[in-house]
Homo-oligomer: A and B are copies of this chain.
Amino acid sequence: MSTTSSVEAKKGKHFETSIFPMLSVRNGDDAIKFYESAFGADVLSRIDAPDGPVVAKLSIEGADFWLADESPEHGNYSPQTLGGSTVRIVLVVNNPDSVFERAVKAGAKMVWPVADQEYGWRVGRVVDPFGHHWEIGKPI
């Protein structure tokens, strides 16, 4: 059964339910470069529209997310346009301290530092240059 499912998945016949955030940004091209530098993200796919907008799928060590240039006419707003963010990204990693430090060195701004929290996580928060907030941590 499990082998059959796996084969079907490869054929594109079955998709496991999964969730990926798609971040709206100003200047998708710069955002891709930032996430490569800050989180060591790999670009899995990228579509550049003739008039400039970028849609890309990125992966941080196998954890995938999307980003796209904002398009307010389609209801996709960057945090810079709205003056805040409506979804924060929880990035679970094995080494929150080093991942956090790298992100800050790459240009993310610390919101609060990595520390053991009373709710049982070691976690800190940054806001990236595009206005998206990341909580970088793991359960302890």
A residues with a Cβ closer than 8 A to B are: 12, 14-24, 47, 60-66, 72, 75-79, 81-94, 111, 119, 127, 131-133, 135, 138-140
Instruction: Tell me, in angstroms, the Cα distance from A60 to B19 when the chains sit together.
Output: 9
B residues less than 8 Å from A92 (CB atoms): 15-20
| A66 contacts across to B, CB distance below 8 A | 90
Q: Which of B60, B82, B139 contacts A17 (CB 8 A)?
A: B60
- A47 and B12 CA atoms in complex are apart in Å by 38
Contacting residues, chain B, for A119 (C-beta < 8 A): 47
Assess whether B22 is in contact with A135, with CB atoms less than 8 Å apart. Answer: yes
- Chain B proximity of A34: nearest CB distance (Å): 16
Chain B residues, CB < 8 A from A19: 20-21, 60, 63-65, 89-92
Query: Does B61 lie within 8 Å of A76, measured CB to CB?
Result: no
Q: How far is the CA of A93 from the CA of B16 in the complex (A)?
A: 6
Name which of A93, A111, A140 has the most chain B CB atoms within 10 A of its CB: A93
Cα–Cα distance between A94 and B132 once the two chains are bound (Å): 29
Q: Give the residue name and chain of the B residue nearest to A138 (CB).
A: B15
Residue of A14, A18, A87, A138 with most chain B CB atoms under a 10 A cut-off: A87
Given A17-B61, A63-B17, CB of A12 within 8 Å of CB of B139: yes
Are B21 and A94 in contact, CB atoms less than 8 angstroms apart? no
